[in-house]
């Protein structure tokens, strides 16, 4: 299995401990509702996690909530509440949105404020080893004390623009030195430390939480591409200096941006959409499917047309599944009954194709192609009257297996309320009794509810419109 390591390119994946994988993914700063970028990152790493589990690995998955930083403090002040109150209000909203997207709950979902002690210990260790210095506003990491600083992200420090994501501070030894501990300011939450009351800097948080829950060396650290520099560059520097040069994450993986009209989505540009905004118009699983259709490392140029295409594609798969066993009892049992020599559908063959793509750095576009090829094959067999019960069983077996990774296919029935199910059943009874007027009336009523029926030689199937 090959994965794309951010620093070293395409590499063969080998976990530190056979059969066991530790994953840490940088989570959101919880000062506002999650947007499409948050959703994409969550879905990308959810699919990776699910695939590792599918392959038989034991996975420990940790994703944090940053519940203390400047954005949290500023928003809490605006609303006249405490930072902890803001976090406690927003975190459940992220859980709600991620659950709607089909993202598995993390094994551990730590808040940064729950690991202050561990952060202080790391800073103390860095201080002992000569990597820190103190200014009037806090304790800083001296990037010159770590000669490899910049290599992880491939940055040349002299080419970087100070001020964008690098704080400007008079007195710093180097413009790229970053704060580990910020001294107390009026109206901000504070914790005790050997250097005085204050709060942690952003970068130290994930180094502490990943080590706390996965150990000083673990398999995969992930996050959005926007975190490569400075956040992950700083994490690498402080962690290796504190824990040792062979510590921290073995592999780094990053998902691509969400773009709007070919520009990176960002609040500063005013071109962002919250997940909640999009869920008002589209099933969250349609959003998930939209994310899956683009390789996780590539940018997505978001539009509502793209969501409409995803809606149609997902409906094609789900419609196929709904109709898969229609007329099942009338099908021949296996190939011998229809004189066909070669087995048409073999779940083992389909799974092999799916896995070949997924083993190539989680190539979901190719893996989904295997699913759509199966749909085409089965439909062709049905049209040619060569479909067997065995084919149907194998197709269903394959789809149920891979949906443990994709998590988009086998949920549609849950979304059909009892009233719609009753109407579909009533129409089937009306057709059997040749009450075509009632049948047509129910068809129109269902169409008004967004459900379109299709009567096939094998039976009636429905789809969303």
What DSSP element (H or E) covers 348? helix 347-358
Q: Which own/partner pairs from 187-192 qualify as long-range (CB within 8 Å, at least 24 positions apart)?
A: 187/73, 187/77, 188/73, 189/68, 189/73, 189/82, 189/83, 189/84, 189/113, 191/116, 191/120
User: What is the distance between the alpha carbons of residues 29 and 227, in angstroms, rounded to a whole number?
Assistant: 13
- Of 302, 329, 355, the residue that ends a domain is 302
- One DSSP character per residue, 182-222 reads EEP-TTS--B--TT-SEEE-HHHHHHHHHHHHH-SEEEEEE
Residue 451 has what pLDDT? 81
| 97 and 209 housed in the same domain | yes
User: What is the distance between the alpha carbons of residues 100 and 233, in angstroms, rounded to a whole number?
Assistant: 32
| 136 and 66 housed in the same domain | yes
| 140 and 200 housed in the same domain | yes
- One DSSP character per residue, 325-341 reads TTTGGGS-SSGGGTT--
User: What is the distance between the alpha carbons of residues 157 and 460, in angstroms, rounded to a whole number?
Assistant: 65
Q: Domain count for the chain, please give it.
A: 3
| 50 and 165 housed in the same domain | yes
User: What is the distance between the alpha carbons of residues 218 and 210, in angstroms, rounded to a whole number?
Assistant: 8
| 97 and 117 housed in the same domain | yes
Residue 428 has what pLDDT? 77
| 29 and 103 housed in the same domain | yes
Percentages of the chain per state (helix, strand, coil), in multiples of 5:
50, 20, 35
Tell me which residue has tokens 């040792």. Answer: 244
Does the predicted TM-score (pTM) go above 0.95? no
Residue 439 has what pLDDT? 83
User: What is the distance between the alpha carbons of residues 98 and 176, in angstroms, rounded to a whole number?
Assistant: 34
| 132 and 281 housed in the same domain | yes
Q: Six-digit token pair at 165?
A: 């994501």
- Of 241, 270, 302, the residue that ends a domain is 302
Structural domain range at position 431:
416-464
Residue 408 has what pLDDT? 97
| 29 and 75 housed in the same domain | yes
| 124 and 186 housed in the same domain | yes
Residue 112 has what pLDDT? 98
Nearest to 222 by CA among 49, 460, 408: 49
| 138 and 211 housed in the same domain | yes
- Of 302, 325, 349, the residue that ends a domain is 302
Q: Could you list the pLDDT tens digit for every one of the 465 residues in the chain?
A: 999 999 999 999 999 999 999 999 999 999 999 999 999 999 999 999 999 999 999 999 999 999 999 999 999 999 999 999 999 999 999 999 999 999 999 999 999 999 999 999 999 999 999 999 999 999 999 999 999 999 999 987 776 654 445 566 778 999 999 999 999 999 999 999 999 999 999 999 999 999 999 999 999 999 999 999 999 999 999 999 999 999 999 999 999 999 987 777 776 677 789 999 999 999 999 999 999 999 999 999 999 999 999 999 999 999 999 899 988 999 998 766 655 545 578 899 999 999 999 999 999 999 999 999 999 999 999 998 999 999 999 999 999 999 999 999 997 555 566 777 788 778 878 888 888 888 888 888 888 877 888 777 666 777 777
Q: What is the CATH number of the domain that holds 391?
A: 1.20.120.640
Measure CA 198 to chain center: 33
Q: What is the CATH number of the domain that holds 271?
A: 3.40.50.620
62 neighbors 111 (Cβ within 8 angstroms) = no
User: What is the distance between the alpha carbons of residues 53 and 48, in angstroms, rounded to a whole number?
Assistant: 9
| 386 and 398 housed in the same domain | yes
Tell me which residue has tokens 């008002």. Answer: 280
| 272 and 321 housed in the same domain | no
User: What is the distance between the alpha carbons of residues 435 and 424, in angstroms, rounded to a whole number?
Assistant: 14
Residue 163 has what pLDDT? 45
Longest dimension (CA), the chain: 87
């Amino acid at each position: 299995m090959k994965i794309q390591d951010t620093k070293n390119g395409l590499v063969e994946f080998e976990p530190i401990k056979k059969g066991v994988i530790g994953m840490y993914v940088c989570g959101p700063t919880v000062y506002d509702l999650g947007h499409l970028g948050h959703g994409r990152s969550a879905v990308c790493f959810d699919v990776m996690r699910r695939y590792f589990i599918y392959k038989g690995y034991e996975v420990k998955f940790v994703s944090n909530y940053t519940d203390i930083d400047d954005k949290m403090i500023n928003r809490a002040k605006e609303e006249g509440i405490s930072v902890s109150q803001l976090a406690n209000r927003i975190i459940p909203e992220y859980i709600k949105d991620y659950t709607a997207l089909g993202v598995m709950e993390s094994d551990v979902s730590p808040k940064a404020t729950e690991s202050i002690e561990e952060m202080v210990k790391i800073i103390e260790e860095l201080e002992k080893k000569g990597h820190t210095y103190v200014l009037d506003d806090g304790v800083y990491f001296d990037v010159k004390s770590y000669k490899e600083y910049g290599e992880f992200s491939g940055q040349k420090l002299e080419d970087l623009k100070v001020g964008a994501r690098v704080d400007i501070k008079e007195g710093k030894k180097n413009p790229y030195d970053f704060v580990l501990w910020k001294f107390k300011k009026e109206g901000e939450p504070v914790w005790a430390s050997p250097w005085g009351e204050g709060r942690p800097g952003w970068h130290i948080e994930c180094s502490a939480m990943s080590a706390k829950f996965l150990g000083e060396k673990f398999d995969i650290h992930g996050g959005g591409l926007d975190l490569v520099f400075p956040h992950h560059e700083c994490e690498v520097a402080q962690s290796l200096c504190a824990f040792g040069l062979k510590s921290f994450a073995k592999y780094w993986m990053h998902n691509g941006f969400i773009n709007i009209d070919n520009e990176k989505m960002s609040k500063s540009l005013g071109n962002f959409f919250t997940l909640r905004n999009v869920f008002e118009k589209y099933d969250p699983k349609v959003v998930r499917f939209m994310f899956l259709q683009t390789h996780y490392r590539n940018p997505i140029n978001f539009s509502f047309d793209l969501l409409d295409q995803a809606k149609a594609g997902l409906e094609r798969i789900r419609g196929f599944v709904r109709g898969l066993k229609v007329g099942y009892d009338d099908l021949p049992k296996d190939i011998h009954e229809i004189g066909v020599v070669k087995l048409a559908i073999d779940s083992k063959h389909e799974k092999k194709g799916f896995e070949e793509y997924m083993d190539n750095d989680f190539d979901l576009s190719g893996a989904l192609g295997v699913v759509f090829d199966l749909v085409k094959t089965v439909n062709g067999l049905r049209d040619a009257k060569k479909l067997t019960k065995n084919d149907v069983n194998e197709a269903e077996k394959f789809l149920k297996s891979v949906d443990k990774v994709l998590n988009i296919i086998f949920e549609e029935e849950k979304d059909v309320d009892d009233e719609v199910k009753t109407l579909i059943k009533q129409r089937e009874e009306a057709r059997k009794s040749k009450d075509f007027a009632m049948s047509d009336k129910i068809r129109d009523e269902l169409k008004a509810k967004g459900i379109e029926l299709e009567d096939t030689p094998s039976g009636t199937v429905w789809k969303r419109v």
